[in-house]
Chains A and B, each alone.
Chain A
Amino acid sequence: SQQGEEDPQALSIQEGENATMNCSYKTSINNLQWYRQNSGRGLVHLILIRSNEREKHSGRLRVTLDTSKKSSSLLITASRAADTASYFCAFLNRDDKIIFGKGTRLHILP
């Protein structure tokens, strides 16, 4: 499959804890993006990391990229109830097609 693979498929954590999601891919990429989707709604862009970057921060989000392992991780620190959503990684494959992973469903418990 050309799709990215997110891991885990689902994650439940207590409010205030950190959440880590991983994305693996098979092709070489120029950059990788992470998106959030609240139930049944459109995706919202979170962060973009270029292939020559190893780590990027945006507020409570931290993204890492390891091109040698073809993987990326998204860390959400000090989680809040509003972080409950599905998270997707996305990248461009060799045929210039945009590929989204299957997503990680994150549930923040009060």
Chain B
Amino acid sequence: GAVVSQHPSWVICKSGTSVKIECRSLDFQATTMFWYRQFPKQSLMLMATSNEGSKATYEQGVEKDKFLINHASLTLSTLTVTSAHPEDSSFYICSAMDSPTDTQYFGPGTRLTVL
């Protein structure tokens, strides 16, 4: 149980284009999902908290207009990186919180490379 999927697992795009990443909780409903970013040899950094049916809450320093988050259902949250640039190349990881235990379960991650 408590499986979280992400799609795509990797993506390469040109600078200036937008990329959408999906995060799904497969066997539980998640009112709250989280998006993280991880650069090489660094730890995970929280980008934003996504609550179903409401606006996401972004961490300090994360541009909300660049990283658009939509949490339209209890099993799906999406992160769109708009006008991507090479410095946005990173490993993006989502997590979904299982309400009864408040435990976060993580997806496998999406590796974004912007050329």
A and B associate in one complex: no
Chain A residues proximal to chain B, CB less than 8 Å = none
Q: Using a CB–CB distance below 8 Å, which chain B residues touch chain A?
A: none
